């Protein structure tokens, strides 16, 4: 069986886009193209190259199941190794010839009559395809803080996800805004270089030690058991996220760790979290608390009033003079956003449909947007295990959808509205008793009104079970006798490249 008379467009070349492309290739499908806004593959692992950037999930599980890497040097790999791994995957599976770099997608619209998507790319002719697959990820757009005066600051100000390696930090007075996953990795790296480090914290986070270490080659080369053992160890963490009562054990461990690491009771109090563990991502670090305890570091908790040309003014009236300001303030995730303007059947725009919170079926398909597949879409994110596991589940599901579509000559597949509604009602019900729904729990997983549109409320293996096969009965599948012919003329420009 072949899909060769169809055209598939994938947007993005991170784990999701590459994982999808490799799977197509392995199935003998060649007529697909990947659109990448940058000049290299890697997605978030290409863009987040701040000092100390590393994964907080062990690499043997934070990698493709079909491509074990015997070269990881540590249990939790640094960013450069993960980027190398993704480049290696692109090369080994000959994906690069399918990639159009410097291709920023501006919009995409679906034509109901032909069952085709038209994809508009900045500075390039539009592209048509039958299936559009988004591998654009949730953590690709840096969020700068909404603080008055941000633009008035006269020194270098940048985001961890857009690190300025050209800005010298040695001997400078540096301010870091935020104490999330990125901040706790970058702070221990900066602290030994700068003259003074001021960390502006809004909410203290839960931190546990990281069981990191050198990973000997012999223990990992193709080691199926290592992968499985790590997967199940991390999978167990879901228990406490789903049953908040169990979280007291994790909290106790974290408090003991804080007490052992931070001797100063005032600093310790400032670093003590005030919400239930797991509500926000649990952070893993062996050196964050040590860095915060050094004499050149100051933790500022008075709240930022505004940014001034020479530094940051806090609500207690103090003006902190700074040579450089770094925003470790996360990403634009839970807002009702799609990566670009996506116009579905009947002219509906995805970001408008999602204005009160993103919604999909199995985090992958959306009513009103036929032939569109989203990898790591709404409520498919994890707080406890490797997202690559979810990506591979969705890739399997999409692959099965494409196979069935070809076999049955469907011109379009669209998830039924009743199915999507029932699925999301269930998701919200499952979320209700979890840590993410506890009082005072606010995180980037939620919309401004508090709806969690990001997290999969269960074990990752239950997601895998639900996505093993494309469940055509949940979809409105339209048949067309001219599927191949309709799309064929659009294939030529792609193949002439
Ligand atoms: O971002 P965050 P991140 N004034 O949103 C603070 C992944 N990741 O880049 O908690 C003052 O977690 C904000 O405060 P508060 C991972 O999935 C993975 O660190 O909102 N402060 C918080 O402290 C992670 O969850 C790895 O009150 C402001 C911080 O900025 C996700 O990326 C490594 C503020 C933002 O924390 C995001 O992590 C790094 C303001 N106006 C990241 N606005 C791995 O290891 C925000 N903050 C795989």
With a 6 A CB cut-off, is 187 part of the ligand 1 pocket?
no
Question: What's the pLDDT at 458?
Answer: 92
With a 6 A CB cut-off, is 198 part of the ligand 1 pocket?
no
> Average pLDDT for residues 61-67, to the nearest whole number?
95
Residue 492 has pLDDT above 50, yes or no: no
Using CA atoms, how far residue 319 sits from 153, 233, 301, in Å, is 13, 46, 13
* Proportion of the chain in helix, strand, coil states, percent, rounded to 5: 35, 20, 45
Q: Domains in the chain and their CATH numbers?
A: 3-41+95-141+333-486 (3.50.50.60), 157-205+237-327 (3.50.50.60)
Question: What's the pLDDT at 491?
Answer: 34
Beta strand 8-11 pairing with 32-35: parallel
* pTM, full prediction: 0.94
Residue 358 has pLDDT above 50, yes or no: yes
Q: Which among 359, 377, 376 is positioned nearest to 368, based on CA atoms?
A: 359
With a 6 A CB cut-off, is 209 part of the ligand 1 pocket?
no
Beta-bridged to residue 304, according to DSSP, are 314
Residue 488 has pLDDT above 50, yes or no: no
Residue 6 has pLDDT above 80, yes or no: no
Ligand 1: which residue has its CA nearest to atom 1?
330
Beta strand 319-321 pairing with 311-314: antiparallel
pLDDT, mean over the chain:
92
Ligand 1: which residue has its CA nearest to atom 8?
181
> Average pLDDT for residues 51-60, to the nearest whole number?
95
State the residue for tokens 């909404």.
Answer: 146
Question: Distance between CA 88 and CA 163 in Å, rounded?
Answer: 24
Residue 485 has pLDDT above 50, yes or no: no
Question: What's the pLDDT at 70?
Answer: 86
φ/ψ of 140, rounded to 5, equals: -110, -15
pLDDT tens per residue across span 428-441: 999 999 999 988 89
Beta strand 116-121 pairing with 127-129: antiparallel
Question: What's the pLDDT at 220?
Answer: 61
Question: What's the pLDDT at 483?
Answer: 57
> Residues 410, 479: contact at Cβ < 8 Å?
yes
Name the residue of 47, 75, 329, 331 whose CB sits within 8 Å of the most ligand 1 atoms, as the mutation to test its pocket.
Answer: 329
Dihedral (Cα; 42, 48, 49, 53), 10-degree rounding: -110
Dihedral (Cα; 172, 143, 122, 368), 10-degree rounding: 170
Residue 490 has pLDDT above 50, yes or no: no
pLDDT tens per residue across span 194-226: 999 999 999 999 999 999 999 877 666 557 888
Residue 335 has pLDDT above 60, yes or no: no
CA of 180 relative to ligand 1 center, distance in Å? 4
Residue 123 has pLDDT above 70, yes or no: yes
How does DSSP assign 87-133, residue by residue? Answer: HHHHHHTT-GGGEESS--EEEEEEETTTTEEEEEETTS--EEESEEE
Residue 307 has pLDDT above 90, yes or no: yes
pLDDT tens per residue across span 218-277: 666 557 888 899 999 999 999 999 999 999 999 999 999 999 999 999 999 999 999 999
pLDDT tens per residue across span 79-104: 999 999 999 999 999 999 999 999 99
CA of 340 relative to ligand 1 center, distance in Å? 23
Question: Distance between CA 219 and CA 59 in Å, rounded?
Answer: 13
CB-side neighbour CA atoms (13 Å) of 269:
3
Question: Distance between CA 274 and CA 144 in Å, rounded?
Answer: 24
Residue 315 has pLDDT above 90, yes or no: yes
Question: What's the pLDDT at 216?
Answer: 79
| 147 CA closest ligand 1 atom index | 41
Token digits of residue 321 = 């003079």
What element of type H or E holds 269?
Answer: helix 265-270
Question: Distance between CA 231 and CA 161 in Å, rounded?
Answer: 27
Residue 140 has pLDDT above 80, yes or no: yes
Name the residue of 82, 304, 330 whose CB sits within 8 Å of the most ligand 1 atoms, as the mutation to test its pocket.
Answer: 330
Question: What's the pLDDT at 224?
Answer: 80
- Judge residue 432's burial from the number of C-beta atoms within 10 Å of its C-beta, 0-12 exposed, 13-18 middle, 19 or more buried: exposed
pLDDT tens per residue across span 26-45: 999 999 999 999 999 999 99
More confident residue, 481 or 93: 93
Token digits of residue 57 = 């999930």
With a 6 A CB cut-off, is 281 part of the ligand 1 pocket?
yes
State the residue for tokens 């799977």.
Answer: 23
| 145 CA closest ligand 1 atom index | 41
């Amino acid at each position: 069986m072949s899909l060769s008379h169809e055209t598939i467009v994938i947007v993005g070349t991170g784990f999701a886009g590459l994982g999808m492309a490799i799977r197509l290739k392995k199935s003998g499908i060649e007529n697909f193209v990947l659109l990448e806004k940058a000049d290299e593959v890697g997605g978030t692992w290409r863009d987040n190259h701040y000092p100390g950037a590393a994964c907080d999930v062990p690499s043997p599980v934070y990698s493709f199941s079909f491509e074990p890497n015997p070269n990881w040097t540590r249990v939790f790999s640094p960013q450069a190794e993960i980027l190398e791994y993704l480049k290696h995957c692109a090369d080994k599976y000959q994906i690069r010839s399918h990639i159009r770099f410097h291709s920023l997608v501006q919009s995409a619209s679906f034509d109901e009559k032909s069952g085709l998507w038209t994809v508009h790319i900045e500075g390039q002719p539009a592209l048509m395809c039958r299936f559009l697959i988004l591998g654009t990820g949730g953590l690709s757009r840096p969020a700068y803080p909404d603080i008055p005066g941000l633009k008035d600051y006269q020194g270098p100000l940048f985001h961890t996800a857009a690190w300025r390696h050209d800005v010298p930090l040695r001997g400078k007075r540096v301010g870091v805004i935020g104490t999330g996953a990125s901040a706790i990795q970058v702070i221990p790296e900066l602290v030994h270089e700068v003259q003074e480090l001021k960390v502006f914290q809004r909410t203290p986070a839960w931190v546990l030690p990281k069981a990191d270490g050198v990973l000997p080659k012999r223990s990992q080369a193709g080691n199926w058991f290592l992968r499985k053992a790590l997967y199940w160890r991390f999978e167990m963490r879901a228990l406490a996220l789903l049953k908040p009562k169990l979280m007291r054990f994790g909290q106790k461990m974290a408090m003991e760790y804080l007490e052992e690491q931070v001797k100063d009771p005032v600093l310790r109090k400032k670093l003590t979290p005030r919400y239930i563990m797991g509500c926000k991502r649990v952070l893993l670090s062996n050196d964050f608390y040590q860095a915060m305890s050094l004499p050149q570091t100051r933790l500022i908790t008075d709240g930022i009033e505004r940014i001034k040309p020479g530094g940051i003014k806090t609500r207690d009236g103090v003006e902190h003079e700074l040579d450089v300001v770094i925003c470790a303030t996360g990403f634009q995730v839970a807002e009702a956003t799609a990566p670009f303007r996506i116009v579905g059947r009947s002219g509906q725009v995805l970001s408008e449909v999602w204005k009160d919170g993103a919604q999909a079926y199995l985090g992958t398909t959306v009513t009103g947007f036929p032939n569109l597949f989203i990898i790591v879409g709404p409520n498919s994110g994890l707080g406890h295990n490797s997202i690559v596991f979810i990506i591979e589940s969705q890739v399997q599901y999409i692959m099965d959808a494409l196979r069935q579509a070809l076999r049955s000559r469907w011109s379009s597949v669209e998830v039924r509205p009743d199915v999507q509604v029932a699925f999301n009602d269930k998701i919200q019900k499952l979320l209700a008793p979890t840590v993410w729904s506890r009082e005072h729990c606010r995180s980037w997983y939620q919309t401004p009104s508090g709806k969690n549109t990001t997290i999969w409320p269960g074990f990752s293996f239950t997601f895998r079970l639900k996505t093993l096969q494309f469940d055509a009965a949940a979809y409105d599948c339209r048949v067309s006798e001219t599927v191949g012919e309709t799309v064929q003329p659009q294939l030529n420009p792609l193949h002439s490249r």
